[in-house]
Structure 1
């Protein structure tokens, strides 16, 4: 039982919801509603409602038991047969399934645990409970048959009594769910699957306005960033398997490129699909190491039987790993020409982009993605050499030091741990490094400081040290 309870421990809220949506899709649902349940300002539960085929009493018993095996269709999105249980118990202490199938009496089962180490217990609820819950669902779409999965006793929802924090958390959770589900199911949404999210007030028995989950296609550009792409190439694993090489257009601000709201660089690499459901959103799977100049390179991989034999899907269906055979085959697919074309597209856009702001070039001490964004966003002055960023123990009244001779911006190592830094990293706390560098970089565009610059530096020191002390007080 310990192994069964361990399944799904790495689920996040959005990956757990996606696992339930998989079940809805497998049941033939064309509409799925994710409904947050609120009481006052507190979010107390979650429901996933679909208008699929529903299940009868035999099928629901099998779905709620561990160790039950059944034959799965090749086109199903469920992969391990434990998705409902693992996803639900990763988030909540109690999951109840209400379902109605054509020609069958409505059924309801509840799976619950009192603690993380307890054996999950299954109980059957009266037919009247199933009928009343389904009748009161009102999901705003045809609901003659279908299923309601409800989570209660949620461990991953905020326990704070602060109304503002509750509201901020809920709004963030909804936006995260829209982004993740829109990405993972984008092909199915484009083919007609309707996903919506709303908030239901358990006191007034009314639901708020529905939010639509829109498709976010990671290959949804209008014109390729390089000629000759996308290009289908064969993966040599003893079959006719192919993958599609893509080069995004440079400087795109489309949500389909900036998947996490960042620059898009974190999403270079492989996008792996199984039955049009996204399993891996970027990353090179250990085949090659990511590089900033490959930010426009994305490879679409649709799993067939041959590729699936060399790939392992993690229980949360949010990541895959490949064996040595497939890794070698994919490395041959990533030809120098392809990666060079992606890099050339990025460099060409940088040359023609208008960058009116000039700064001193940062050297070592920033993550590659941040350093590359500097190159994209600014013109580097040609009158000053690059400046490194590092830690050094300074006096207690100094937050930073501008070292013109060493061409280094030193941050006070006395505050490193308090600011979230670690001695094991040369580019830790990148936000602090970047902000301090933007503040002080112009001080390196000279051989000596003027009296006004010296006064500026001293003023900054006083304010930053005061902020540091205020942070220490707040942390006590």
Structure 2
């Protein structure tokens, strides 16, 4: 037997305290953007029971600053010091149901990502406390000494402090200048552009808190109240909603709700563009994961499906409790997560069924639009496993014109039509449809061309035995004519009058 088996390593202890200047600078690079940083501060306000959050930004001052003021519970000085401590919470600790925090890093890391000076003013039971982290001071001293300010009335943003509540002030906004350090006008323009993008993000992320006649939260930017942006369009009459599904797990329940958005023609242009977001509906389709009503993931299928034009109206809301943070691998920014295996398996089946139904709906709609009985101008042809679109040479308009040509010119006319078909700009069309399908539309038809089309169709139908009484209903079934019916009907009435 080896006598060394029971021996333990001899140890010594040395001081390995992190260098304050290095570590605190590292907290600036957790990947926050302005919008995710602001959202993290608002999370703290909601956790503190705030009903109102004011976002104030002075972008034109010599030294621009941003403040977020809430009317939450406020803090004592001891609580403020703890809140300013890096890593003040253990992510494994139990949380209250509405606690949106996790690591105890959000306030500091989110703020440092945008500024070099973080000041927090807070008031509770009539007593005001104030503390500041200034990264330039930390770099100079290289220690963890937090500044406590005994005359908070001189601090920027003090006038925003409610009877009870907290104000977070960002100064030395070195990462929001856009590089325009000496050009105040361009710097302000850049900052306002960033704030505009952040506004859209906040209206989306906190939409459930902002909704209703008596919203859980009122959020404003420079005095203007922000309205919710519901990505599911749940209040729209034309939105289709599947029954809710519940996945019961040891750590809590996962709620799954499938929504199919209305077609863009059933929404106003403003509604359509807002719900599509800056990147459009193709990118916005997919899963929307909420943690305690707060949006974590906005769109994308997390590997469960492909983003396609046929599924761009599909959106699935997935609600999880904060007791599942570890399983979902919620990051510090609360802006990304990963599907636990058991949830992935369930969602995979839901997505396959939901997206499959949507695609079948679109395909059946497409088949109706190219039904031969409705005289399509283009025929959809399957050839060698591919789909080809060809001009319909048997269309009444084409046939009528061909019959008016001398025999020797008819083959040339049909050749021209075939060349038009083979010259379709497929790649360009695909790019437009993928990125901005709702903006792609047919060219306008002149009054003379429309009249020629109607007469050609009407003559063909009547010659094939259709009664004049059934002609109007049949023409209405032709999608192209139905979309222009106000112009079509007078021409058709004129034809019927002449036919009598």
User: Aligning the two structures, in what range does the TM-score lie when normalised by the shorter sequence?
Assistant: 0.5 to 0.7
**Which position in structure 2 is the counterpart of 1:271?**
288
Would you say 1:193 and 2:217 are equivalent positions? yes
- Give SS of 1:243's match: strand
CA distance in 1, matches of 2:312, 2:358: 8
Q: Which runs of structure 2 are paired with 1:167-186 in the superposition (5 Å)?
A: 167-186=188-207
State the Cα distance separating 1:288 from its structure 2 match: 2.2
Find the aligned partners of 1:255 and 1:248 in 2 and give their Cα distance.
10
CA distance in 2, matches of 1:179, 1:162: 26
Query: Going by fraction, where is strand more abundant, 1 or 2?
Result: 1
For 2:323 and 2:220, locate their aligned partners in 1 and report how far apart those are by CA, in whole Å: 35
Give, in angstroms, the shift of residue 155 of structure 1. 2.3
Question: Taking structure 1 as reference, are residues 319 and 240 closer, same or farther at Cα in structure 2, changes over 3 Å only?
Answer: closer
1:363 is aligned to 2:426: yes
- Aligned counterparts of 1:186 and 1:225: Cα–Cα separation in 2: 17
Aligned to 2:174: 155
What is the Cα deviation at residue 9 of structure 1?
A: 2.1
* One of 83, 91, 97 as aligned partner of 2:106: 83
User: Are 1:106 and 2:134 an aligned pair?
Assistant: no
Q: Are residues 1:57 and 2:57 paired? A: no
Q: Does 1:125 align with 2:138?
A: no
Q: Could you tell me how far apart the structure 2 residues matched to 1:349 and 1:145 are?
A: 58
Q: Indicate whether 1:223 and 2:244 are aligned.
A: no
Q: 2:230–2:275: 8 Å Cα contact kept in structure 1?
A: no
- The answer to whether structure 1 residue 340 and structure 2 residue 403 are counterparts is no
The secondary structure found in structure 1 opposite 2:159 is coil
Q: In 1, distance between residues paired with 2:65 and 2:146?
A: 19
Which of the pair has more CA radius of gyration?
Answer: 2
Q: How far did 1:192 drift? A: 3.5
Equivalent residues, number? 356
- Return the match for 2:261 from 226, 232, 248: 248
**Deviations for 1:195-215, whole angstroms, at most 9, x for unmatched residues?**
1112xxxxxxxxxxx222111
Unpaired segments ≥5 residues, structure 1 = 199-209, 353-357, 382-476
For residue 174 of structure 1, report the CA deviation from its aligned partner.
2.9
Deviation at 1:78, TM superposition (A): 1.2
Report deviation, 1:8.
5.4
The question of whether the paired residues in 2 share the 8 Å contact of 1:241 and 1:307 is answered with no
Q: Is this contact kept in 1: 2:291–2:319, CA < 8 A?
A: yes
Aligned to 1:300: 317
The match for 1:282 is: 299
SS in 2 for 1:220: coil
Q: Is the 8 A contact 2:77 2:129 kept in 1?
A: yes
Specify which structure has the higher proportion of helix. 2
Deviation at 1:62, TM superposition (A): 0.8
| CA shift for structure 1 position 368 | 5.6
Q: CA deviation at 1:376?
A: 6.3
1:377 to 410, 419, 440: 440
TM-score (norm 1): 0.66
Q: Displacement, 1:182?
A: 0.6
Asked whether the equivalents of residues 94 and 151 of structure 1 are also in contact (C-alpha less than 8 Å), the reply is yes
Cα distance, 1:9–1:102 mapped onto 2, change above 3 Å: same
How far 1:165 sits from its partner (Å)? 2.0
TM-score, normalization by structure 2: 0.63
- Measure how far apart 1:312 and its partner are: 1.4
Distance verdict in 2 for CA 1:314–1:116, change over 3 Å: farther
SS in 2 for 1:334: helix
User: Gapped runs of 5+ residues in structure 2?
Assistant: 1-17, 370-419, 445-500
Q: Distance in 1 between matches of 2:341 and 2:443?
A: 43
Change (3 A) 1:134 1:167: closer
Paired with 1:283 and 1:195, the residues of 2 have a C-alpha distance of 27
What SS does structure 1 have at the residue aligned with 2:348? Answer: helix
Q: CA deviation at 1:260?
A: 2.2
The answer on whether the counterparts of 2:59 and 2:191 sit within 8 Å (CA) in structure 1 is: no
Offset, 1:240: 5.6
2:225 corresponds to 1:212: yes
Please give the per-residue CA displacement for 1:73-102, whole angstroms capped at 9, x wherever unaligned. Answer: 232111221110110111111111111111
What's the CA shift for 1:365? 7.0
Question: 1:177 aligns to what SS in structure 2?
Answer: helix
Q: Which moved more, 1:325-334 or 1:369-378?
A: 369-378
